[in-house]
Amino acid sequence: MEIALVPLFAAIAYFGILIPGVSLAVTLFAAYSHISIFIGPVFLPLVAITLASFILYKLFKRDLTIAYLPVNKFIFLFIATIFFSLFFTQDWERAIYDLFIFLKSLVLFFLIVNIAKDENTIIHLIETVVVAVLCGSIIALSEYHTTIHVFLFSGRTGSVLEDPNFFASMLVSVLPFSIFLFKRERNLYLKSFWGVCSVFQLFSIVPTFSRGGIIGLVVILFLVVLHERKNKWTWIVLPLVILVFAIVVPFDFWIRIMTLINTQYDKAIGHRLLLMKSGIKVFSQYPIIGVGTGDFINAISRYMNHPMVAHNMYLHVFVETGIIGGTFFLCILGNVLWSLHRAKQISDLAAYMEISLIGLFVTAFFLSIHFHFWVWALLGIVSAFLRIKLWRRPYWLY
């Protein structure tokens, strides 16, 4: 299979040198659709090809500038803290695994902010992401309502990401973009297509049975309604969506959601709470520099049986990198959110980007996703947009 993909990689590299945005779009589609499940590992080669194409394009154009981002300083400091924390890591196997995932995500972030130089390119990248997630949504709904159960996990679908909670987090972060594309489109056929994407992504959260995903969904829908409250169509579409959702959603889903109120009926919630308590104990012992990247599970094993990742992005970062690393990480998120808040005054897209990020950050209270690609890809798309609207100064390499 890998040999058969060589011509594809060659074509992407060729067009990437001519138009770097092409190879970037293909890479994003491969990442969000997780097509590697079906045709073999392609994400890493595509990231490498896109990076090489970008470098060659820069050399050919004799353009040795990279994007200036005020958030860069916090990213660099966060990276430095992560590598410094490796001096205290005991679980090196986990640390190397996490760093490898983080490296791919960082390269993707770098490519997005440097290749997407205008708003049209950013819109095209968003469209690519929405279409890619639509593919995963179709798979999720199909396998839940048929006998094809390739990606089911304890009766819950994780679609192409395999993990139901990860998939729900991705859906929550992409749904606001689908709604934005539906709203802005004037062509009836394309408007209908983006509407279908929105509906599929909305209802694909159901078979994940992800409680964090539902909380994130409620938050983003509330923010969308708040943003569009002066639009009369909002008050026509919203009741209709709620009615259909209430009718179509299976009863088992509502039972699982009710466990958020009656936590004693779900052992998983009790285990998550114990994870948080154990994580807080570890943090109180190593508050400044943390226990080391990749060492969360090892550190909490002294306080509980069956230790696992924190299932809380913020706690996980603070435990592993301490107050120093955690503060830099929060500065990254806060800087981007605050800049989006400013940009809302001049662009409607900024408002939907803000909703997307808030939805993602809400789901992150229930997941350890600080190194995963959809977090950094979204930060990259948002940062590229902010670079155009607010941060216009380039940074010269020489």
Tens-digit pLDDT profile for residues 261-303: 666 666 777 778 888 888 899 899 999 988 989 898 888 888 8
Ramachandran assignment for 57, one of left (phi > 0), alpha (psi -120 to 50 degrees), beta (any other):
alpha
Report the mean per-residue pLDDT for the chain.
82
What is the structure's pLDDT at 162?
Answer: 66
Pairing of strands 152-153, 156-157: antiparallel
How far is it, in rounded angstroms, from Cα 64 to Cα 208? 45
What is the structure's pLDDT at 265?
Answer: 60
The answer to whether the CB of 343 falls within 8 A of the CB of 350 is yes
The mean per-residue pLDDT over the stretch 16-38 comes to 73
Confidence bin at 397 (pLDDT 50/70/90)? very low
| CA-closest candidate to residue 6, choices 49, 51, 55 | 49
What is the structure's pLDDT at 14?
Answer: 47
pLDDT in tens, 334-378: 999 998 988 888 888 999 999 999 999 999 998 889 998 889 999
What is the structure's pLDDT at 178?
Answer: 94
Q: What is the pTM of this model?
A: 0.88
The mean per-residue pLDDT over the stretch 298-321 comes to 87
Confidence bin at 40 (pLDDT 50/70/90)? low
The mean per-residue pLDDT over the stretch 70-80 comes to 91
pLDDT in tens, 109-165: 999 998 888 888 899 999 999 999 998 888 777 776 655 554 555 556 655 666 788
Confidence bin at 36 (pLDDT 50/70/90)? low
Quote the tokens at residue 97: 């695994």
- How much of the chain exceeds pLDDT 70, in percent? 84
How far is it, in rounded angstroms, from Cα 267 to Cα 273? 10
Hunting for tokens 């779009």 — which residue is that? Answer: 25
In this predicted structure, the answer to whether residue 10 has a pLDDT above a threshold of 70 is no
- CA 83, 87, 88, 92 torsion-angle sign: positive
How far is it, in rounded angstroms, from Cα 129 to Cα 15? 20
What is the structure's pLDDT at 79?
Answer: 94
Kindly give, in sequence order, each residue whose CB lies less than 8 Å from that of residue 73, ignoring residues fewer than 6 positions away: none
The answer to whether the CB of 288 falls within 8 A of the CB of 327 is no
The answer to whether the CB of 309 falls within 8 A of the CB of 337 is no
What is the structure's pLDDT at 12?
Answer: 52
Q: How do the domains of the chain map onto residue ranges?
A: 71-396
Torsion of CA 352, 356, 359, 365, to 10 degrees: -140
Kindly give, in sequence order, each residue whose CB lies less than 8 Å from that of residue 35, ignoring residues fewer than 6 positions away: 29, 42, 160
